[in-house]
Homo-oligomer: A and B are copies of this chain.
Amino acid sequence: MNASAKPERTRLSAEDWEDAALRLIADQGVGALAVEALARQLGVTKGSFYWHFRTREALLQAALERWEQYGEKEVISQIEAMPDPRARLPELFRRVAHEIAPHRVYAALLKALDHPQVVPVMARVSQRRMEFLTTIYSEAGLSPEEALNRARLTYAAYVGFLQLNFTLGLPRISHDEFDAYVEHMIRTLTPA
């Protein structure tokens, strides 16, 4: 089939393995993270892997930390830079809705919450994002309690959407219909 899609003849670094691991996680899940499979995909063998990492668990850990680092930083800062607080929410929703790629790892990790290694990472990331949402809702005029609950609701809707659409393949929604859904969501979740 593909076998050697990457004829990279340079030597590999630990970062290369971490990136490959994240790609594999994104489209096959954490459970599919096997060292021999990864090695095959990179055109090398296990011998290479165990030079860079002590164990499979160590690779997962490194990949997760790498993902947590180079995460959503840009999106958050760009939204925060917007002058009008009321305009931030619709913009955030539309951006998130149309950039699918960055969310694929998050979606895969959501299905791996039985793995003890992913729990703390996901807890930190989700916590940070919800705090961000809470401050945005506050700045949009909600009281502290209302802002917190609305952030919880919004984030839950985001997480649920990921599950129901990319992992489960519910009756493939069309593009236009999806846009309509996003706008409906903006209307109902944004303070009047």
Contacts and interface: CB of A to CB of B under 8 A. Distances in A.
A100 interface: no
A122 B188 contact: no
Copies of this polypeptide in the complex: 2
Interface stretch (A14-22, A41-49, A70-78, A150-158): A150-158
Interface residues of A, number: 40
Interface string A149-178: 110110111111101100111110000000
B150 A184 contact: yes
Nearest to A159: B160
Interface in A109-141: 110-114, 119, 122-123, 126-127
Interface in A77-121: 110-114, 119
Interface of A: 28-29, 31-32, 110-114, 119, 122-123, 126-127, 145-146, 149-150, 152-153, 155-161, 163-164, 167-171, 180-181, 184-185, 188-189
